[in-house]
């Protein structure tokens, strides 16, 4: 009957429901935010939100609930009690009919990233939480069924920036799955994806057909051919056949090549692509080399597919997910949460009930081994 999100009561048409973590609890109301004061001389009308000193570390529940209808403003700032980290077992276990009192935001991010439609639809809040959108995008790239479901949730003619990003990610996933019906000569450029080779590649004929259908995607298709090592498709895209003349390649390459293709060719174990690029001449290659360090996106396929990672290995008690947005050259794809595996199994090794969590909010991999060494010595 009661909706804590919009502060309404439905007495005419109440519906039965299990507990789902959608209730504002008293501890949330103890978070307060300092009011910074009002300068009426600089504004025609006063907007209360403009005069609150927001601190997400102190007041992290504002986006969910505003039961008191004052947004928690006060003459001081203080955070609500840290939510219990009881959500951890629910990350890898079936959800009970009645969700226990946990911080379900992490469960929402997990469902979005894994493309779990049932979990996501049940758990999501009326407004997206921090990093939820990025998790959805990653899920679309990685899970075709998730992409198919999202294709029914956003309009074909996207207007909002979020819908544009979702539709572009869906189109990328469809291309990777060898479906190019989503791209037509009239498809707006904003909806045309450029990274069409990750997390997997399409068939060579798909890239050839796509470039024929949308000539402005030739560069992306050429890069995809390097990533997938489709040498024959590369030649066909540049010459119209797999054994076309080199002078035809030079002409076509000179029209479309940019530093992204050059960087990918340098990373490829197959010298065929770099050989063709070198036919452009030393001056052009030198310029490509110089431009490579000013790319919107310097991540080549080897970086994206490599099992190695420079990402910090750390277990954060209340935040197992850590996503960062991509640059515009990467279609805005967030970086994979490469820390997730260590986070889940690292917490198993350390133990959720370990007293160290009373002093620390996160533990790095080196510290984890120190904890395990000390545990072994005490036995």
Q: What is the DSSP string of 138-207?
A: HHHHH-HHHHHHHTTTS-SS--SHHHHHHHHHHHHHHHHTT--TT--TTS-GGG--S--SSSS---HHHH
Residue 170 falls within a domain, yes or no? Answer: no
Residue 32 falls within a domain, yes or no? Answer: yes
Q: Is the Cβ–Cβ distance between 31 and 59 less than 8 Å?
A: yes
- 283 in the same domain as 349: no
Q: Is the per-residue pLDDT at 83 higher than 90?
A: no
Lowest mean pLDDT of 177-181, 190-194, 333-337, name the range. Answer: 333-337
User: 336 or 348: which carries more pLDDT confidence?
Assistant: 348
Quick one: three-class SS letters along 319-342? CCCCCCCCCHHHCCCCCCCCCHHH
Pick from 277, 305, 333: which residue ends a domain?
305
Q: Once rounded to an integer, what is the mean pLDDT over residues 285-311?
A: 75
Cα(339)–Cα(346) distance, rounded to whole angstroms? Answer: 10
pLDDT of res. 170? 97
For the chain, the average pLDDT equals 82
Residue 111 falls within a domain, yes or no? Answer: no
pLDDT of res. 1? 58
Pick from 289, 305, 321: which residue ends a domain?
305
- 209 in the same domain as 232: yes
Q: Is the per-residue pLDDT at 19 higher than 60?
A: yes
Q: Is the per-residue pLDDT at 336 higher than 70?
A: no
Instruction: Count the Cβ atoms, other than its own, within 10 Å of residue 342.
Output: 19
pLDDT of res. 54? 43
User: 319 or 120: which carries more pLDDT confidence?
Assistant: 120
Strands (E) located in 218-368:
314-316, 362-364
pLDDT of res. 243? 64
Cα(175)–Cα(78) distance, rounded to whole angstroms? Answer: 49
- 251 in the same domain as 288: yes
Pick from 275, 305, 335: which residue ends a domain?
305
**Under DSSP, is residue 289 helix (H, G, I), strand (E, B) or coil?**
helix
Cα(33)–Cα(59) distance, rounded to whole angstroms? Answer: 7
pLDDT of res. 75? 76
pLDDT of res. 21? 78
Tens of pLDDT, residue by residue over 143-169, are 999 999 999 999 988 889 999 999 999
- Summarize the chain as % helix, strand, coil (round to 5): 45, 5, 50
Tens of pLDDT, residue by residue over 86-140, are 889 999 999 999 998 888 889 999 999 999 999 999 999 988 888 899 999 999 9
User: 184 or 10: which carries more pLDDT confidence?
Assistant: 184
Whole-number percent of the chain with pLDDT over 90: 50
Lowest mean pLDDT of 148-162, 230-244, 272-286, name the range. Answer: 230-244
| Alpha-carbon 372 to chain mean position | 33
- 288 in the same domain as 224: yes
Q: Is the per-residue pLDDT at 15 higher than 90?
A: no
Q: Is the per-residue pLDDT at 188 higher than 80?
A: yes
Q: Once rounded to an integer, what is the mean pLDDT over residues 56-62?
A: 44
Residue 134 falls within a domain, yes or no? Answer: no
Of 275, 1, 35, 326, give the one whose Cα is nearest residue 172. Answer: 326
- 325 in the same domain as 281: no
Residue 115 falls within a domain, yes or no? Answer: no
Of 93, 77, 83, 66, give the one whose Cα is nearest residue 21. Answer: 83
- 321 in the same domain as 294: no
Whole-number percent of the chain with pLDDT over 70: 76
Output the CA–CA distances (angstroms, integers) from residue 41 to 38, 46, 164, 222, 244, in the order listed. Answer: 9, 10, 39, 58, 72
- 363 in the same domain as 274: no
Which residues are CB-contacts of 310 (< 8 A; sequence separation ≥ 6)?
A: none
User: In which band, very low, low, confident or very high, does the pLDDT at 282 lie, cut at 50, 70 and 90?
Assistant: very high
pLDDT of res. 254? 94
- 263 in the same domain as 297: yes
First vs last Cα of the chain: how many Å apart? Answer: 54
Please report which helix (H) or strand (E) contains residue 73, including its range. strand 73-74
pLDDT of res. 39? 52
Q: Is the Cβ–Cβ distance between 309 and 329 less than 8 Å?
A: no
pLDDT of res. 48? 45
pLDDT of res. 95? 93
pLDDT of res. 62? 45
The two structure tokens encoding residue 224: 């995809």
Q: Is the Cβ–Cβ distance between 106 and 87 less than 8 Å?
A: yes
- 315 in the same domain as 269: no
Q: Is the Cβ–Cβ distance between 132 and 160 less than 8 Å?
A: no
Q: Is the per-residue pLDDT at 237 higher than 60?
A: yes
pLDDT of res. 61? 44
- 346 in the same domain as 294: no
Residue 296 falls within a domain, yes or no? Answer: yes
pLDDT of res. 321? 78
Total domains present in the chain: 3
Identify the domain containing residue 1 by its residue range.
Answer: 1-81
Q: Residue written as tokens 């995607």?
A: 217
Residue 262 falls within a domain, yes or no? Answer: yes
Cα(163)–Cα(191) distance, rounded to whole angstroms? Answer: 10
Residue 130 falls within a domain, yes or no? Answer: no
pLDDT of res. 49? 44
- 271 in the same domain as 339: no
- 3 in the same domain as 50: yes
Q: Is the per-residue pLDDT at 207 higher than 80?
A: yes
Q: Is the per-residue pLDDT at 325 higher than 60?
A: no
């Amino acid at each position: 009957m009661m909706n804590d999100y919009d502060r309404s009561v439905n007495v005419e048409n109440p519906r039965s429901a299990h507990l789902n973590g959608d209730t504002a609890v008293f501890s949330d109301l103890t978070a307060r935010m300092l009011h910074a004061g009002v300068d009426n001389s600089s504004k025609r009308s006063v907007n209360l939100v403009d005069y609150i000193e927001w601190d997400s570390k102190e007041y992290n529940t504002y986006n969910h609930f505003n039961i008191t209808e004052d947004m928690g403003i006060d003459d001081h700032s203080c955070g609500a009690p840290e939510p219990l980290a009881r959500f951890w077992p629910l990350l890898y276990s079936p959800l009970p009919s009645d969700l226990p009192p946990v911080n379900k935001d992490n469960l929402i991010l997990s469902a979005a990233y894994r493309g779990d439609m049932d979990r996501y639809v049940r758990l999501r809040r009326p407004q997206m939480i921090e990093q939820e959108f990025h998790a959805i995008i990653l899920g679309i790239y990685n899970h075709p069924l998730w992409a198919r479901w999202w294709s029914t949730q956003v309009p074909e003619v996207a207007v909002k920036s979020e819908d544009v990003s979702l539709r572009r990610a869906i189109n990328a996933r469809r291309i990777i799955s060898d479906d190019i019906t989503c791209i037509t000569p009239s498809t707006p450029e904003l909806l045309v994806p450029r990274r069409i080779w990750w997390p997997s590649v399409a068939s060579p004929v798909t890239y050839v057909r796509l470039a024929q259908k949308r000539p402005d995607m030739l560069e992306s298709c050429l890069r995809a051919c390097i990533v997938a090592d489709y040498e024959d498709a590369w030649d066909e895209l540049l010459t119209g056949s797999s054994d076309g003349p080199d002078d035809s390649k030079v002409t076509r390459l000179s029209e479309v090549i940019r530093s992204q293709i050059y960087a990918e060719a340098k990373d490829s174990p197959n010298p065929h692509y770099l050989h063709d690029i070198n036919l452009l001449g030393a001056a052009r290659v030198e310029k490509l080399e110089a431009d490579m360090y000013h790319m919107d996106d310097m991540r080549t396929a080897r970086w994206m597919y490599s099992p190695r990672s420079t990402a910090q290995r750390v277990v954060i008690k209340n935040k197992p997910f850590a996503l960062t947005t991509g640059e515009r050259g990467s279609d805005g794809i967030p970086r994979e949460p490469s820390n997730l595996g260590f986070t889940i199994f690292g917490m198993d090794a350390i133990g959720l009930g370990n007293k160290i969590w009373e002093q620390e909010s996160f533990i790095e991999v080196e510290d984890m081994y120190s904890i395990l060494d000390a545990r072994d010595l005490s036995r």
